[in-house]
Amino acid sequence: MNDNFNTNRASSRMPSDDQMESLLRDFFRLEVPADLKQPLRRNPSATAAAATLALAPDHHVEQLRPRSVRFVGVTASVAAMALAMLVLVSRNHEPLENGSGFAGGDTNPPATTPDHDNPMLVSPQGDSSTSTQVIGPDGVTLEEIDPIELHPQN
């Protein structure tokens, strides 16, 4: 009884064939994209790329200078670097040539220390010619007379 009631209710709610026709026509009228009526759109990525190029023409021109201009610029910077290197090298060599720390400055050389010109080289055998030389007012020499004895410390 209850099932029959539900079935009757459902069938009464069931749309007729005409209603379904109308419903489906309305549905598809809205469902079909309007863009289908438009001509085929070409590759969207190509369009986007063209738009990007059109938007930044100045930037593009600035980056792509003529080759001759770029060549002159590179040559000038290489020449400047070479000149700077030359100046640095010549500055480093000047003190050895004239003994001065200042290139083209004071012509009087400062008092050179003997250590600088003649580095002290100590021989383990000693230098006989200099060890007997008197180095003090009381006749002290550098000659070693007594041997040095080494004893281990406890």
Partner 1 sequence: MTSASSGKNSDSEPDRDQIIEQYYRKHSRELWALFYAMCSDPERAYDAVQESFLRYYDYKGEPVRDLRAWLLRVGQNWLRDVARKKSNSCRLLPGLDDFAGQRDSAEEMLELSERQAQVREALSVLNEDDRKVLVMKYSMDWSAAQIATVMDCSPAAIDMRLSRARRRLAEILVERGFDHE
d(CA 117, CA 113): 7
Q: Does 39 bind partner 1 (CB under 8 A)?
A: yes
Taking CB under 8 A as the criterion, the residue among 6, 7, 8, 32 binding partner 1 is 32
Closer to partner 1 by Cβ: residue 31 or 117: 31
**Beta carbons of 132 and 143 less than 8 angstroms apart:** yes
Nearest CA to 122 out of 146, 138, 142, 148 is that of 142
Of the candidates 5, 28, 118, 122, which one interacts with partner 1 according to CB under 8 A? 28
Among 2, 3, 33, 149, binds partner 1 (CB under 8 A): 33
Where on the chain is the footprint of partner 1 (CB under 8 A)? 10, 13-15, 17, 19-21, 23-25, 27-36, 39-43
